[in-house]
Structure 1
Amino acid sequence: MQGQITLSKKERHYQFLYLIVMLLAAIIFLGIIFLKGFESPFSDEDIVSVQSLEEKAKFDQKQKLSFKTLDSTFSMINKLTDETPQAFAENNIMYGINDVINYFQNGENISDIRKEAYPQIAKFYKMYFNDKKIISSKTENIKSFEKQFQECSIGFKEKKSQLFQRETALKSRTP
């Protein structure tokens, strides 16, 4: 009969800790061997975030320069009254709208999503300008129709007075 080797409680705790330490050492050793050539996904994160911040700063600088064009174009459109705009004013407004459309499409490669708002702003300006032109043409038509109405009513009153005079002349002839 063989004698069984029994471990005391303290020895079992030491054996358990020894196995845990050996497992951790094996994991670290194998991790170093297998992951040595592996490129970390976090290594470029700082570079990407710095580039993103630089691009946002570039966009902000260019956006500050665009405010003058945006404001002047809008004020030119807003100043239009219900009269037909002058040709030079219309050309200036169209140049301003085209400048707004092309503001972030010239050369610079900015990938900020906010630049997509500029063509939309230009579409709004164009729509607003077309609305102002429609209002001016309708106002001119109304003025033209009012003038024609006044001329017509003057002619109608003259014809009415002529008919009245003829009727009175005919009544005075008949005994």
Structure 2
Amino acid sequence: MQGHITLSKKERHYQFFYLILMLLAALIFLGVIFLKGFESPFSDEDIVSIRNLDEKAKFDQQQKFTYKLLDSTFSQINRLTDETPQPFVENNIMYSINDVANYFQNNNNTSDIRKEGFPQIAKFYKMYFNDKKIISSKTENIKSFEKQFEECSIGFKEKKNQLFQRENALKARNQ
């Protein structure tokens, strides 16, 4: 028969703490060995945040130059009246809209998401310009129809007067 060695409650607690300490020591030792060559992902976080702030400042500076282009394009479109725009004016507006859309397309080093707003602004300008052109064509059609109506009305009155004079002439003959 083998004799069982039993530990007291106090000895079992000491044995448990001893095993926990040994596990922690092994984890620390192995962690130092394996993680010794790795770079910390937090070591260059300050550099990355400074770089992001610099990019935002550069983007703000570039964006200041676009204000003039945005304002002039909008005022060109807004200045259009009910009449059909001249071809060179229409061409200038389309070039300006394309300039707005492509202003930050060639600048790939900027990772600022605000640059995605410029193609959307260009789409809005294009829709606004198309609306102005539709208004001008509809106004032109309305003016044409009004002119045709006036001509028809004048022609109708003349025909009515001619018929009235014929009827009067026929009545005068018959009497």
Name the structure 2 match of 1:57: 57
Q: Which amino acid aligns with 1:50?
A: I
Name the structure 2 match of 1:118: 118
Secondary structure of the structure 2 residue equivalent to 1:114: helix
| Percent sequence identity over aligned pairs | 81
Q: Which amino acid aligns with 2:35?
A: L
Residue 87, structure 1, aligned to residue 87, structure 2: yes
Name the structure 2 match of 1:141: 141
Name the structure 2 match of 1:66: 66
Whole-Å separation in 2 of the counterparts to 1:87 and 1:114: 33
Q: Which amino acid aligns with 2:128?
A: Y
| TM-score for the superposition, normalised by structure 1 | 0.83
Whole-Å separation in 2 of the counterparts to 1:129 and 1:78: 8
Give the C-alpha shift of residue 38 in structure 1. Answer: 2.1
Stretches of structure 1 that go unaligned for 5 or more consecutive residues are 1-8, 10-14
Whole-Å separation in 1 of the counterparts to 2:130 and 2:19: 82
Alignment size in residue pairs: 172
Name the structure 2 match of 1:6: none
Name the structure 2 match of 1:164: 164
Name the structure 1 match of 2:6: none
Secondary structure of the structure 2 residue equivalent to 1:38: coil
Stretches of structure 2 that go unaligned for 5 or more consecutive residues are 1-9
Whole-Å separation in 1 of the counterparts to 2:136 and 2:65: 32
Give the C-alpha shift of residue 49 in structure 1. Answer: 1.5
- Alignment RMSD (CA, Å): 2.7
Secondary structure of the structure 2 residue equivalent to 1:160: helix
Give the C-alpha shift of residue 26 in structure 1. Answer: 5.5
| TM-score for the superposition, normalised by structure 2 | 0.83
Give the C-alpha shift of residue 18 in structure 1. Answer: 8.9
Give the C-alpha shift of residue 43 in structure 1. Answer: 2.0
